[in-house]
Structure 1
Amino acid sequence: MIEPVTDQESHLRALRRIEELWSAEPGSAEESELDALATLVDAYERRRFPILPLDPVAAIKARCEQLGWTRKDLEPLIGSRARVSEVLGGKRALTLPMIRKVHASMQIPADVLIMIPSKRRKGTKRAA
């Protein structure tokens, strides 16, 4: 019997049942149960563990880490050492020319770079 996934206990039960059903035959009742449970677990996990979008500065810092870049490597994209420091410190916003250069050089989606960081979100976990 399929039950709602509303708390940690029901979540764990659903995950265990999903493991049991993982190799269900296509078109079978077990496959339908697997699909329903996966949908319920997905909805619960999206509510319980939301993934917040990166703000532009966090995205740039994360991409720099992936690429092995230093602040010096950002200077051709953002400007002087002081300008890079201001942007990464949240004291100055990215300009459109900066966004274009960062997007082209670092392959960070432009919509992430355009997003205005919210003061309210400061200190919350963001996706990496």
Structure 2
Amino acid sequence: MKHIRPLHTEAEYDDALAEIALAFDNEPTPGTPAADRFDLLALVIEDYERRHWPIDLPDALDAIRYRMETGGYSQADLGRLLGSRQRASDILNGKRPLTLTMIRKLHAEWGIPAEALIGTEATRAA
């Protein structure tokens, strides 16, 4: 059995994927050396993917709209959260930037990752 080490090539990545796929069909018992190997393989695969195929965060407005859609929230719900229906409309139309207070509320109440709400056009200084 080969030692697990960082993945540097596409071939090493493919080999790691093939090995971990076998464990999905026959999951190792937690606490065993096989389970530890599975966890380590998952970590090196995740590291390789993060370095080679990074995923950009969504735009803040896209993140808000997506959360509204998936959470069943309306523009009125957003208005209640942010203080007014007009404020919600202005945010969604890009006429008003998000403030730090708004970002905190959207993160705490609706579970939108703060990273997705910070550092985009929608969060220019108010």
Residues 1:18 and 1:72: Cα distance change in structure 2 (over 3 Å): same
Q: Indicate the SS of the match to 1:6.
A: coil
Structure 2: segments with no counterpart, 5+ residues: none
Greater RCO, CA 8 A, separation 6+: 1
Is 1:26 the counterpart of 2:28? The answer is no
Deviates more, 1:61-70 or 1:13-22: 13-22
Q: Distance in 1 between matches of 2:100 and 2:39?
A: 44
Structure 2 residue aligned with 1:58: 62
Structure 2 residue aligned with 1:115: 118
What is the CA distance between 1:89 and its match in structure 2?
Answer: 2.7
Q: Could you tell me which amino acid in structure 1 is paired with residue 66 of structure 2?
A: A
The count of aligned residue pairs is 115
CA deviation digits over 1:79-121, x for unaligned, max 9? 244x323211333112355446545643446x448623159xx
Q: State whether residues 55 and 116 of structure 1, in contact with CA within 8 Å, keep that contact through their aligned partners in structure 2.
A: no
Q: Could you tell me which amino acid in structure 2 is paired with residue 70 of structure 1?
A: S
Q: Distance in 2 between matches of 1:56 and 1:62?
A: 10
Q: State whether residues 18 and 38 of structure 1, in contact with CA within 8 Å, keep that contact through their aligned partners in structure 2.
A: yes
Q: Distance in 1 between matches of 2:40 and 2:107?
A: 39
Structure 2 residue aligned with 1:6: 8
TM-score for both structures, normalised by structure 2: 0.59
TM-score for both structures, normalised by structure 1: 0.58
Q: State whether residues 57 and 116 of structure 2, in contact with CA within 8 Å, keep that contact through their aligned partners in structure 1.
A: no
Q: State whether residues 59 and 112 of structure 1, in contact with CA within 8 Å, keep that contact through their aligned partners in structure 2.
A: no
Q: Distance in 2 between matches of 1:101 and 1:31?
A: 39
Q: Distance in 2 between matches of 1:100 and 1:39?
A: 31
Q: State whether residues 58 and 116 of structure 2, in contact with CA within 8 Å, keep that contact through their aligned partners in structure 1.
A: no
Deviates more, 1:67-76 or 1:3-12: 3-12
